[in-house]
């Protein structure tokens, strides 16, 4: 595939468009994932507290602010001198603890579907 781009008239432009499309795709995935998490949190909070049902926009804003602050706060650890160690630790933990991750996912699915059945 790289050889095919090399014979075109402007290969750097196609390479830039390819990486731009990858970046935009990843950014869209992050936005959709964050909005899904925030929407689920807001729905559960507004259903538990009846006074917040009419203030859903405010609750959505506060939840978004808290989630973004937590994510940025966790990113501060990666900017220290030991940041590379944190990245390696997280990478190794995810790979080695795959069984626990899958187990927690299965338990959470059982809890969610059990909650809606009752």
**pLDDT (tens digit, 9 = 90+) per residue, 14-73?**
778 888 998 999 888 888 888 888 888 888 877 777 777 677 778 788 888 888 888 888
Q: How far is CA 100 from the centre of its chain?
A: 19
Domain coordinates in residue numbering, the chain: 1-76, 80-118
What is the sign of the dihedral through the CA atoms of 84, 86, 89 and 90? negative
This prediction has a pTM of 0.51
* 116: pLDDT strictly greater than 70: no
The pLDDT assigned to 24 comes to 92
**pLDDT (tens digit, 9 = 90+) per residue, 75-108?**
888 888 888 888 888 777 777 777 677 777 788 7
């Amino acid at each position: 595939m790289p050889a095919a781009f090399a014979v075109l008239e402007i290969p750097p432009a196609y390479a830039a468009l390819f990486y731009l499309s990858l970046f935009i795709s990843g950014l869209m995935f992050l936005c959709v994932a964050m909005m899904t998490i925030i929407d689920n949190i807001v729905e559960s909070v507004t259903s538990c507290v009846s006074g917040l049902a009419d203030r859903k926009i405010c609750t959505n804003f506060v939840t978004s602010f808290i989630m973004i602050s937590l994510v940025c706060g966790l990113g501060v650890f990666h900017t220290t001198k030991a940041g590379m160690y944190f990245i390696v630790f997280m990478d190794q933990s995810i790979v080695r603890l795959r069984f626990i991750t899958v187990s927690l996912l299965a338990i959470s699915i059982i809890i969610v579907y059990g909650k809606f059945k009752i």
